[in-house]
Amino acid sequence: MSSRNTELILRELMQDRPEHVVGTAIAARKAVLKLAGECSELIYETYCISNAFTFTGRQGQGFIHIATYAKHVNLGFDCGTKLEDPEGLLQGTGKLIRHIRLNGVSDVKREAVARLIKGAVQQGLAMAELKGKVDPKCWTKNGVS
């Protein structure tokens, strides 16, 4: 399925959310895909709309996720406790996962957020390489390394 079709599906799932929330979620998704290149995206609808990103296609091996609630969006980092976060943006108290609450597209565009996404992408690639699922050389050509 193309990235464009996935965006249309997400927009349909989020039709009951305010446009600024939808716009923030879509901007976050584009920021992840820009740095991650070709990865698997898993979409879930529970009490929020979640899209999880993985290089192996397995949810348990995800590196980042976006949770879209009725009034805000969280950008979640599956191994966030292991990311460098000099600006102290990451929130949460779990064993591994941390998140950033995104209140608008301008939050997505912050350089510190891009650094965290890039760090999570590198974690995801390392995990996929460990599992033998991805050739890291093809990702290096796309500027991810």
At residue 3, the pLDDT reads 67
Residue 58's pLDDT band (cuts 50, 70, 90): confident
Q: What is the mean pLDDT of residues 112-138?
A: 82
Counting the structural domains of the chain, the total is 1
Q: Which domain holds residue 67?
A: 3-137
In a domain, 24, yes or no: yes
- Residue indicated by tokens 């996720």: 65
In a domain, 143, yes or no: no
Q: What is the mean pLDDT of residues 43-49?
A: 92
What integer best gives the mean pLDDT of the chain?
Answer: 88
Which residues 6+ apart lie within 8 Å of 138 measured at CB?
none
pTM above 0.75, yes or no: yes
Kindly tell me if the per-residue pLDDT of 127 is higher than 80.
yes
Kindly tell me if the per-residue pLDDT of 137 is higher than 60.
no
In a domain, 142, yes or no: no
Q: Which residue has the higher pLDDT, 60 or 23?
A: 23
DSSP string, 37-61: -S-EEEEEESSSEEEEEESSS-GGG
